[in-house]
Amino acid sequence: IAGITQAPTSQILAAGRRMTLRCTQDMRHNAMYWYRQDLGLGLRLIHYSNTAGTTGKGEVPDGYSVSRANTDDFPLTLASAVPSQTSVYFCASSDEGGGVDEQFFGPGTRLTVL
């Protein structure tokens, strides 16, 4: 593994289903982030974690949950997917939290909720 990986690459999901997007980094970064990117809008922060064992809410957290059991993994769960959650989801990491460090992004997961 080099950098950040995300899985799956893309997914079509029926509304109401539960879905977990996976994110793993091998850079030993302390901070990790989940963003969604929608056409015509900037990246919007869903949840973040400044260090293993802690998480925080971003700008658009409703309908999503995260966990950070260890340094490397930061899964994002949609408990009951809705069509408005159709988006491209990017996981990112940085050496330290607080936003002042360069963020490294994974390749993204394209999610369609029908």
**How distant is the alpha carbon of residue 97 from its chain centre?**
15
Residues numbered 50 to 89 that lie near other proteins (CB under 8 A) are: 58-59
DSSP annotation of 84: G
Nearer to other proteins, 14 or 62 (CB): 62
**Could you tell me the smallest distance in angstroms from the CB atom of residue 79 to other proteins?**
23
Q: Is 102 in the site for other proteins (CB under 8 A)?
A: yes
**Does the CA dihedral 92-35-31-19 come out positive or negative?**
negative
Q: Is 2 in the site for other proteins (CB under 8 A)?
A: no
59 and 38 in contact (C-beta within 8 Å)?
Answer: no
Residues numbered 11 to 50 that lie near other proteins (CB under 8 A) are: 40-45, 48
Judged by CB under 8 A, how many residues of this single chain contact other proteins? 21
Nearer to other proteins, 59 or 80 (CB): 59
Report the distance separating Cα 98 and Cα 31, nearest Å: 8
